[in-house]
């Protein structure tokens, strides 16, 4: 498979300055990260607050440029200014707060905003808006005002807005952090459908473990570095390690882990309730 | 609920007037306001009244919505009427001490009140039949000739529509902050004006901080979706004149001619 995103020794420093502009201190948010994402993958990046995962996400969309190292999106270098619009079209980004990323006053107008910016002809914009809204099951809300939608619905509109730009890859920066549990489920379902049905590469940044169990690969970040990487099974079998990184494992996994410690013969890395029930009986 | 507030009191229905191009409605409203100040005799007012009610009927907006807009200016209407009625010099009909009602006064007062009423009703037809977004689009396209003079027309229109989008969000936020402050003992109910103004400071500061944060987030989100100004942008809902719009322009033109002819020049 072709590589869609690859970073090499990516390092990013936030430089704090005092009033006169003298350097007060340097915080390295992303430290020597090398990773490679293949087209069609579902990648999850996990990490506690301040682990540098959002900073990493902003590099994929060319909002931030690396201090050191390189980021290539679909074979294009993000630090080259003439690639910037291609990269942003290719790697769409969904942010945390649904209210602060919806521009239109009607759902369909918001979804059309991206294609409008790309200079897509009017007729095609309507086609794209329709297919994107249908992909996230929000088509019947197309005439509504975004202010009247629930958090989960707003976030699905945001996803549709990115989808309408026909990206190869979608980066979601904690899209569920501000949602209630049912909204979280809606959004995760929509994201999984994109990956399964539309074959779009998904990079999901989150600190909810439950959302990552369907990923092909998980990267766990800590203090700007990649601390662990592997499939969900591999990651969640290392319960002690995750706890050390201030992350919670899913309840089921934790239960299975404790049961195993107490002497039950269970395999490592149980991810779903069904799996545990199956193993227990 | 605070989030139900709509700006510009749009009345949602489907009618000929609703479907007109916003530019036509802008021009029409402007012409109507001008015509009200051009006419100076009764035939003129009859034409203006007939035109107004024709448009109201076509717009299918209940008349009570138009009248509702007048409530805000009742006081102004009364003052304008009374002042003109009693203090216009001319042929005296009735007098008591210093107050007198003159023939000119009656004419002056009634035309003044009529003008104000028509002014409000005329412009509320526009806001009642056009969504704020549509209106912004109309302004952008209608004023696009100003781009020759390097006026940032697209940017202004974009700012207007973003402002409109964020009004309900910021209102909700104000509500939240207010409740949080009340919970901690802030007093927003005080009758004392100075105290009231002081109570606003702990409300406005967090509101501004959050508005700036939102603006920053929104700018990022817009850039992430490839927004780079008005050049090279296409429109999802482009404004294109249809036959009905041309007909409407013709009607407006005929109305203006009739107003000038019967309302000013023609002598009975």
β-strand pairing of B99-102 with B92-96: antiparallel
- Residue from the list A92, A108, A147 with its beta carbon closest to the beta carbon of B169: A147
Chain A residue with CA closest to B219: the answer is A101
Report for A17-21, A251-255, B17-21: range of highest mean pLDDT:
B17-21
Alpha-carbon gap: B58 to the closest alpha carbon of chain A (Å)? 24
Residues in chain A within 8 Å Cβ distance of B162: 103
Alpha-carbon gap: B140 to the closest alpha carbon of chain A (Å)? 16
Residues in chain B within 8 Å Cβ distance of A174: none
β-strand pairing of A169-173 with A201-206: parallel
Alpha carbon distance B5, B175 (integer Å): 13
Using left for φ > 0, alpha for ψ between -120 and 50, and beta otherwise, residue B9 falls in left
Write the CA distances from B166 to A51, A95, A256, B11, B28, integer angstroms: 32, 17, 47, 20, 29
CB contact under 8 A, A112 and B236: yes
- What share of chain A has pLDDT > 70, as a percent? 100
- pLDDT at site A131: 93
β-strand pairing of A217-222 with A42-47: parallel
Asked if B169 reaches chain A (Cβ–Cβ under 8 Å), the answer is yes
Count Cβ atoms below 10 Å from residue A185 Cβ, excluding itself. Answer: 15
Judged by average pLDDT, the poorest of A75-89, A133-147, A154-168, A234-248 is A234-248
Alpha carbon distance A86, B182 (integer Å): 49
- The SS3 call for residue A50 is coil
Residues in chain A within 8 Å Cβ distance of B233: 116-117, 119
CB contact under 8 A, A165 and B226: yes
Place of tokens 């994109």: A194
Average pLDDT along chain B: 85
Residue A238, both tokens: 């290392």
Size of interface A-B (CB pairs under 8 A): 90
Interfacial B residues in 229-258 facing A (CB < 8 Å): 232-238
The residue ranges of DSSP E strands in A169-250, in sequence order, are: 169-173, 201-206, 217-222, 225-230
The residues, ordered by sequence, that sit 6+ positions from B107 with a Cβ below 8 Å of its Cβ are none
CB contact under 8 A, B133 and A106: yes
pLDDT in tens, B104-152: 888 888 888 999 899 888 888 888 888 878 888 898 888 888 888 888 8
Asked if A179 reaches chain B (Cβ–Cβ under 8 Å), the answer is no
Asked if A120 reaches chain B (Cβ–Cβ under 8 Å), the answer is yes
pLDDT in tens, A1-31: 788 898 899 999 888 888 777 777 888 888 8
Q: Which DSSP helix (H) or strand (E) runs through A231?
A: none
β-strand pairing of A23-38 with A42-47: unpaired
Whether B90 shows a pLDDT value over 60: the answer reads yes
Residue to test with chain B: of A100, A118, A119, most B Cβ within 10 A? A100
Residues in chain B within 8 Å Cβ distance of A113: 222, 225, 227
Residue A235, both tokens: 């990651």
Alpha carbon distance A43, A7 (integer Å): 14
What average pLDDT does this structure show over B187-212? 86
CB contact under 8 A, A100 and B217: yes
Q: Confirm if A139 and A148 have CB atoms less than 8 A apart.
A: no
- Strand-by-strand arrangement of the A23-38 sheet: A23-38, A3-17, A68-73, A76-77
Asked if A150 reaches chain B (Cβ–Cβ under 8 Å), the answer is no
Alpha-carbon gap: A157 to the closest alpha carbon of chain B (Å)? 13
Whether A60 shows a pLDDT value over 50: the answer reads yes
CB contact under 8 A, B165 and A148: no
- pLDDT at site A148: 86
Using left for φ > 0, alpha for ψ between -120 and 50, and beta otherwise, residue A106 falls in beta
Asked if B227 reaches chain A (Cβ–Cβ under 8 Å), the answer is yes
Taking alpha carbons only, the member of B137, B165, B261 closest to residue A145 is: B165
CB contact under 8 A, B3 and A112: no
Alpha carbon distance A62, A175 (integer Å): 19
Q: Which DSSP helix (H) or strand (E) runs through B192?
A: none
Domain extent listing, chain B? 2-142+239-265, 167-223
Alpha carbon distance A46, A53 (integer Å): 7
Exposure string over A186-206, b if 16+ CB within 10 A, otherwise e: bbbebbbebbeeeebbbbbbb
- Go through the domains of chain A in sequence order and give each one's CATH number: 3-249 (3.40.50.300)
Alpha-carbon gap: B67 to the closest alpha carbon of chain A (Å)? 27
Residues in chain B within 8 Å Cβ distance of A120: 234
Residues in chain A within 8 Å Cβ distance of B5: none
φ, ψ for residue A17, nearest 5 deg:
-125, 150
- pLDDT at site B124: 85
Alpha carbon distance B54, B60 (integer Å): 10
Of how many residues is chain A composed?
Answer: 281
Residues in chain B within 8 Å Cβ distance of A178: none
Interfacial A residues in 69-108 facing B (CB < 8 Å): 85, 88-89, 92-93, 95, 97, 99-106, 108
Whether B3 shows a pLDDT value over 60: the answer reads no
Residue A228, both tokens: 């662990």
Residues in chain B within 8 Å Cβ distance of A102: 165
Tell me whether residue B115 is exposed, middle or buried, using C-beta atoms within 10 angstroms of its C-beta: 0 to 12, 13 to 18, 19 or more. middle
Taking alpha carbons only, the member of A64, A151, B147, A131 closest to residue A142 is: A131
Alpha carbon distance B31, A225 (integer Å): 66
pLDDT in tens, B219-248: 999 999 989 887 888 888 888 899 999 999
């Amino acid at each position: 498979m072709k590589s869609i995103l690859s970073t090499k020794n990516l390092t990013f420093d936030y430089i704090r300055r005092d009033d006169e502009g003298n350097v007060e201190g340097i915080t390295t948010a992303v430290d020597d990260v090398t990773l490679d994402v293949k087209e069609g993958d579902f990648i999850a990046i996990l990490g506690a607050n301040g682990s540098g995962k959002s900073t990493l996400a902003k590099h994929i969309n060319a909002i931030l440029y690396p201090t050191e190292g390189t980021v290539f999106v679909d074979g294009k270098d993000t630090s080259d200014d003439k690639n910037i619009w291609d990269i942003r079209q290719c790697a769409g980004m969904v942010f945390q707060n649904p209210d602060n990323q919806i521009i239109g006053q009607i759902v369909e107008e918001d979804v059309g905003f991206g294609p409008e910016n790309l200079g897509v002809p009017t007729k095609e914009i309507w086609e794209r808006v329709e297919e994107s809204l249908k992909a996230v099951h929000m088509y019947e809300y197309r005439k509504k005002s975004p202010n009247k939608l629930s958090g989960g619905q707003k976030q699905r509109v945001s996803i549709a807005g990115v989808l309408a730009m026909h990206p190869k890859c979608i980066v979601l920066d904690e899209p569920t952090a501000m949602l209630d549990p049912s909204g979280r489920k809606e959004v995760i379902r929509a994201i999984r459908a994109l990956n399964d049905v539309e074959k779009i590469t998904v990079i999901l940044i989150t600190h909810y473990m439950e959302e990552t169990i369907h990923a092909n690969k998980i990267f766990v970040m800590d203090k700007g570095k990649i601390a662990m990487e592997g499939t969900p099974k591999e990651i969640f079998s290392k319960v002690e390690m995750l706890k050390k990184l201030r992350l919670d494992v899913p309840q089921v996994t934790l239960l299975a882990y404790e049961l195993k410690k107490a002497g039950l013969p269970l395999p490592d890395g149980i991810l779903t309730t069904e799996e545990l029930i199956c193993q227990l009986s | 609920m605070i989030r139900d507030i709509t700006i510009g009191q749009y009345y949602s229905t489907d009618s000929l007037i609703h479907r007109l191009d916003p530019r036509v409605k802008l021009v029409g409203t402007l012409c109507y306001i001008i015509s009200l100040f051009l006419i100076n005799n009764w035939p003129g007012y009859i034409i203006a009244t007939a035109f107004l009610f024709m448009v109201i009927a076509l717009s299918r907006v209940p008349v009570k919505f138009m009248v509702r807009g007048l409530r805000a200016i009742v006081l102004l209407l009364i003052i304008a009427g009374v002042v003109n009625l009693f203090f216009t010099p001319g042929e005296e009909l009735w007098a008591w001490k210093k107050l007198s009602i003159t023939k000119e006064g009656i004419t002056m007062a009634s035309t003044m009140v009529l003008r104000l009423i028509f002014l409000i009703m005329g412009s509320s037809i526009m806001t009642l039949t056009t969504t704020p977004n549509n209106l912004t689009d109309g302004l952008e396209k209608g004023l696009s000739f100003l781009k020759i003079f390097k006026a940032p027309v697209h940017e202004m229109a974009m700012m207007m529509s973003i402002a409109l989008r964020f009004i309900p969000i910021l209102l909700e936020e104000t509500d939240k902050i207010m409740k949080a402050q009340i919970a901690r003992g802030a007093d927003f109910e005080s009758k004392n004006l100075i105290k009231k103004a002081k109570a606003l400071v702990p409300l406005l500061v967090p509101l501004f901080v959050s508005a700036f944060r939102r603006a920053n987030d929104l700018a990022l989100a817009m850039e992430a979706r490839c927004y780079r100004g008005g050049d090279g942008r296409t429109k999802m809902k482009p404004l294109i004149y249809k036959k009905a719009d041309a007909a409407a322009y013709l009607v407006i033109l005929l109305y203006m001619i009739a107003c000038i002819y019967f309302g000013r020049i023609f002598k009975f």
